[in-house]
A and B are shown apart, each in its own frame.
Chain A
Amino acid sequence: MNIIYSREDKLLMIELTEEIDQHTADKVRRKIDDEIERFIPRKVVFDFSNISFMDSSGIGMVLGRYKLIKMLGGELELINVHKTTKKIFDMSGVSRIIKIAEQEEKYKIKQQKENIHNQILNNLDKEEKSEGII
């Protein structure tokens, strides 16, 4: 799991890196909750580009985080979701509740990510604290 946080935009980007099943979901959900509670972001983005496998454990994992984010006043978006994973989100109704970015938005998000990264590097120059990047 890789994390980028932009303090300016209150945007938390979480790049998931492991196949999602019951076993890995149990581990990752706690880590993600810690980050959400730490930053209280206005927007959270889960990047699925490395997730070539997810079973129904991912539904609960995503919905659980969605509830927490919403309770804290933020919103959640999923990007770069692979075909089979998208099927699972569609079947379970997750797609109706949570925004899943279309393929064409991929590039936009990538740029957004690069912008955030540059921003953080700038911030780091200015500030002594480095909690912006983990």
Chain B
Amino acid sequence: MKGLYDNEMILKFVSKPCNESFARITIAAFISQLDPTVDELSDIKTAVSEAVTNSIIHGYDSEDGIVEIKAKIISNTIEIEILDNGKGIENVEVAMKPLYTSKPNQERSGMGFTIMQSFMDEIRVESSLGFGTRIVMRKKINIKQESKAIC
């Protein structure tokens, strides 16, 4: 059966901080089939780490919950969706401003969204109070000439 996308994966895990590295390493392994450069890979890992950390510390406020990541490869673009059913964001526009954080006393810098925006080509944030948050990010990978076909 042929799927809608070139390739796709779904990952669900409990919102424990030790899963931050698990999440970004898993995504890095999945997109390695596009043969990204070290810099591209590093940018994507950082953006994933930001979104996942936000779900864990803000969305679920360090309580247990489920974080879900869907990653798709569409031609030479990687699309990553990060979802939580946490408390949601009251005002997305304010939350996305550089240096805005609701947890300044925990040494948060408020740079998470700014990093996601600048390290990825595109980011969309949907959130609803009491229901959760959904982040969709896209980045185009420069395909090398002799790159092998995927799957």
Bound-complex Cα distance A29 to B43 (A): 24
Residue B130 CB within 8 A of the other chain: no
Q: Which listed residue, B17, B39, B56, B115, touches A56 by the CB 8 Å rule?
A: B115
Minimum Cβ distance to chain B for residue A86 (Å):
11
Which residue of chain B lies nearest to A59 when distances are taken between CB atoms in the complex? B109
Q: Which listed residue, A22, A54, A60, A63, touches B20 by the CB 8 Å rule?
A: A22
In A5-26, which residues have CB < 8 Å from any B CB?
19, 21-23, 25-26
Q: Are A21 and B49 in contact (CB under 8 A)?
A: yes
Contact A55-B109, Cβ < 8 Å, known A26-B17, A91-B114, A91-B115: no
Q: Are B114 and A21 in contact (CB under 8 A)?
A: no
Minimum Cβ distance to chain B for residue A51 (Å):
12
Q: Are B21 and A23 in contact (CB under 8 A)?
A: yes
Chain B residue contacts of A91, Cβ below 8 A: 111, 114-115, 118
Chain A residue contacts of B43, Cβ below 8 A: 84
Q: Are B107 and A21 in contact (CB under 8 A)?
A: no
Residue count of chain A within 8 Å CB distance of chain B: 23
Bound-complex Cα distance A128 to B120 (A): 55
In A37-69, which residues have CB < 8 Å from any B CB?
52-57, 59-61, 63-64
Chain B residue contacts of A4, Cβ below 8 A: none
Q: Which of A54, A60, A64 has the most CB of B within 10 A?
A: A60
Q: Which listed residue, B39, B49, B107, B111, touches A61 by the CB 8 Å rule?
A: B107
Q: Which listed residue, B42, B50, B114, B115, touches A53 by the CB 8 Å rule?
A: B42
Bound-complex Cα distance A83 to B99 (A): 21
What does the 1/0 interface line of B49-63 toward A look like (CB < 8 Å)?
110010011000000
Q: Are A56 and B111 in contact (CB under 8 A)?
A: yes
Residue B128 CB within 8 A of the other chain: no
Residue A92 CB within 8 A of the other chain: yes
Chain B residue contacts of A55, Cβ below 8 A: 46, 49-50, 53, 112, 115
Q: Which listed residue, A26, A53, A88, touches B111 by the CB 8 Å rule?
A: A88
What is A's interface to B at a CB cutoff of 8 Å? 19, 21-23, 25-26, 29, 52-57, 59-61, 63-64, 83-84, 88, 91-92
Q: List 11 A-B contacts (CB under 8 A).
A: A21-B20, A21-B21, A21-B49, A22-B57, A52-B42, A53-B42, A55-B115, A56-B109, A57-B108, A91-B114, A92-B111
**Which A-B residue pairs are the 5 nearest by beta carbons?**
A60-B107, A23-B17, A59-B109, A55-B49, A84-B42
